[in-house]
Structure 1
Amino acid sequence: MLFNRRQILKSAAALTLLPLAARASNHVMVASETIQQLAPEGFDKTRVWSFGGSVPGTAIRVEQGARVQRMVDNQLSVPTSVHWHGIRIDNAMDGVPGVTQEAIPAGGSFEYDFVVPDAGTYWYHAHNRSVEQVARGLYGPLIVQEADAPDVDQDLVLMLDDWRIDPETAQIADDFQKNGHDLSHAGRIGNLISVNGSFDPTIPVKRNERLRLRLINAANARIFDVGIQGLNGWIVALDGMPLENPVPISESFPLAPAQRADLLVDVDAVSEETASLVSVERDGAFGLAKFAVSGEISATVRPAPNPLPPNRLPDVSSFQSAPLHRMVLQGGAMRWLENARIGETELTGRELAQLGRFWALNGEAERPAEPFLKTSVDSIHRIEFVNETAFPHAMHLHGHHFRLVDGDGSLGPWRDTVLVDRGQTQQIVLMADNPGDWLLHCHMLGHAASGMMSWFRVA
């Protein structure tokens, strides 16, 4: 049973916004179970896991160049960890059990201490058994503010998610590890959409207000196709990194799991009308968040925005001569693995499926002992993702940003997660300038759990 996803939002339920001034001054960040009204009013509250007592977890807002210190106190019954997604961070703070740290045991704690070099929209999430822990709510926003921020009337963080909820009990379906269909197909797709942990939220605005919308896709596997109605806007940053020139929003655009997009939008709708952030699907567009317009902030429309201040990123313009590394994305339903390796052992597709492994990267059906790429610091490399599967994949690199290489050979925007559609080849270029062992994996978290996990070493 699907919960009602209306094409035009009609709910008057108020959205609990993540305030601009939130600094998360508490040094301790508690991971624990709590309850929250995820489903519409009339349904029971849902048991969720959270950082800080609600989903999304405690909002962290700091200035560019600031130091972040958080003691994670794990009050859950299972081990966990925190990955600070998109931050070019010291390797020891990356939060990956078995690579950069041991998982934080139940009742234990771990001190994260790092500096944020880049302004932009980032997030944090559990990285131990992520397919379950993120789906239960262990995530939150990490916002690094520019010294010279754009002039906006509201700066709003909107974390998009979907939940697989039993409509009889309003509880999260507990079928994470044993659902072979999810693991071998598109991943865990939910039946309830939320924005900031709320169903059908409403945000009060005025005509001609300029809003900064920081969109974060925290979903386990859903690709949102985002559009706007009653708003006029521009994409100004992707995955935290400012675009060289704002891109006018003339049609919907994809936002894959883990990706972010910063929008500057002006409210076009007249007073007493509504504007909406929508997701476009085959059965039409449905509302993600509604902007209820009351009054007018100005009689005039502002000019188009200037670009956001750029972050200091490496020069990769000489990428044409850089070595090219090919990563083939393999397996999944309809293109089942015939065989692949786990460690030194070659297994048949049937044997792999019995072990819950349905995907492979270059013939490896889990994180291999040897790195996909081993390189010295400050070297430039190209990676070519070749998707031979029947499903899209959101490939994420830890500790680095990279630039897409467009079909004409020119350099596209900076990203940390690239969507590779079925049958598609995507090439990226990065400077390996952050020492350590770093994960490279699909951020459809069920795909990562069932084989699409690799790593690279910068030494």
Structure 2
Amino acid sequence: MLPGGSAAQGRPAVAIQAREGALKLRSEGPETPVWMLAAPELRFRRGENLQVEFANELTVPVGLDWRGIDGVPAIELLAGRRLLAASGWENVRIPLRHAGTFLCDMSVFANQNARPARGQPVVVAENEPVSVDHDEVLLLEEWRLRADATAAVPGTDPTETTVFYTLNGKPSLDVAARSNERLRLRFVNGSRRTVVAVKLESVDVTVMAIDSQPAEPFLARNGALVLAPGSRVDAFVDVTGQPGTQLKILLHDGRQARTVGSIIVSSEAPARAAPLPPPSPLSSNGLPARLDLKDALRADIALSGPEWTVIASLAASPQPAFRVKAGRIVVLALTNRTDVATVFRLHGHHFRLLDKLDDGWKPFWLDTLAIEPGQTHRIAFAAEHAGHWLIESVATDWAAPRFVRWYAVE
């Protein structure tokens, strides 16, 4: 049974409240007011049916955005569910078909009294054993702080603010480990606009999963992981340092590198005589091993233009970006015609990033992709889940609005 909830076998229940909160971002001065999701640790198992009781204790309508959870039309904001009114509450059931690292985020309509909102990582564990000693969630968040300790909301002017980053709500976080232990580090980029690179010094970093789906394991180049806003990466790290060693966790946001945490090797005896052998792939979530692109539905989508509408409403976008029959493969050509990197997000399904000639794809699945100015990327997915689903586009500029369209699987 989870704290704050009750459950029958295989049917965990959890209570989540949207409420006012505060963070201490500076050693001196007042705390920063934020909006937060008050909940117990959100850890479950694949195959469970999660019962969520959501209460809105704020004074504006809000909704829960479940990043990475595919094929549940009832939780799709704007397309399948309205935002929850102030002082309201609702129940929703979420079948947890896939194991992985997810993010429960808060969506808010444009509001002059809005505060920056914190998300809650969600872990759905595999049913099969995974050879790790510790499993740590590391939520990276970005704040644009004013002199009076208030913070600018994404989508508003950040003039006269200073950039701060936190790891699990702290300016710096230490993770303890013994020599020869294997850590599973679940990195979540909680920034709403910024692509970040996270680097671990002096250790090999093996990428095991991206955006809630297992990948063919591969070593991160130079130990660095690149995460678009909202992206998640699961990495295995074998700690080989001597007792007392501090392995820095560095974050680079395109402007500068900063230390946001450390892995501290304890003085205890090593966990084992030698590091574990290279890890085997995580168990599949059942996504198709191959995509037959021959008879795919193909569509070109520019990431800007009059077809897009702000996140607050789909009223200006009555026609879907495309319609597809359930079970068919879809290939989208995504073009960024703006002068700033733009982030695309697909709801309802995960996609493969195709090679330039459509003759193969990268060995991982994604739900979010950052596209540089003037570039076109092609993605492909199997339209397995009937319903109306959002697609999102947002520039990597703090003041940029989030835009949405939708697509139909019939």
TM-score (norm 2): 0.88
Residue 241 of structure 2 corresponds to 269
* Separation in 1, partners of 2:326, 2:177: 48
Contact kept in structure 2, 1:34 and 1:48, CA below 8 Å: yes
> Deviation digits for residues 270-321 of structure 1, max 9, x if unmatched?
2112012212355653212211222233331221111111110135521133
State how far apart, in whole Å, the 2-side matches of 1:195 and 1:241 are.
23
Give the whole-Å Cα distance in 2 for the aligned partners of 1:384 and 1:131: 34
TM-fit CA distance, 1:448 = 11
User: What are the equivalent positions in structure 2 for 1:280-295 lying under 5 Å apart?
Assistant: 280=252, 285-295=257-267
For this pair of structures, how many residues does the alignment match? 397
Per the TM alignment, residue 157 of structure 1 is displaced from its structure 2 partner at its CA by: 0.4
Match of 1:51 in 2: 37
RMSD value, Cα: 3.0
CA distance in 2, matches of 1:273, 1:81: 43
- Unpaired runs of 5+ in structure 1? 1-20, 183-187, 332-339, 344-356, 360-364
Deviation of 1:418 after TM superposition, in Å, equals: 1.4
Residue 202 and residue 40 in structure 1: after superposition, are their counterparts in 2 closer, same or farther (change >3 A)? Answer: farther
The 5 Å alignment of 1:432-443 reads 432-443=383-394
Change (3 A) 1:341 1:430: closer
Conserved? CA contact 2:291–2:381, under 8 Å = no
The structure 2 residue matched to 1:207, chosen from 150, 155, 179, is: 179
The answer to whether structure 1 residue 410 and structure 2 residue 360 are counterparts is yes
Task: Report how far residue 135 of structure 1 moved.
Answer: 6.8
Unaligned runs of 5+ in 2: 7-13
| Corresponding residue number in structure 1 for 2:284 | 310
Once residues 230 and 131 of structure 1 are traced to their aligned partners in structure 2, the CA distance between those partners, rounded to angstroms, is 45
1:116 aligns with 2:96: yes
Structure 1 205/131 Cα, relative in aligned 2: closer, same or farther at 3 Å? Answer: farther
C-alpha distance 315-342 of structure 1, shift in aligned 2 (>3 A): closer
Q: CA deviation at 1:152?
A: 1.2
1:31 — aligned with what?
18
| Letter in structure 2 aligned against 1:291 | I
Kept after mapping to 2: 8 A contact 1:131/1:449: no
What is the CA distance between 1:249 and its match in structure 2? 4.3
70-79 or 409-418: bigger deviation: 409-418
Paired position in structure 2 for 1:171: 150
Task: Supply the AA of the counterpart residue of 1:329.
Answer: L
Which amino acid is the alignment partner of residue 67 of structure 2?
H
- How far the C-alpha of 1:434 sits from its partner, in A, is 0.8
The answer for the alignment partner of 2:28 in structure 1 is 42
Question: TM (normalized to structure 1)?
Answer: 0.79
CA contact 2:3–2:40 (8 Å) conserved in 1: no
Q: Percent identity?
A: 25
Higher helix share: 1
What is the CA–CA distance in structure 1 between the aligned matches of 2:68 and 2:94, rounded to whole Å?
A: 13
CA contact (8 A) 1:89 1:114 kept: no
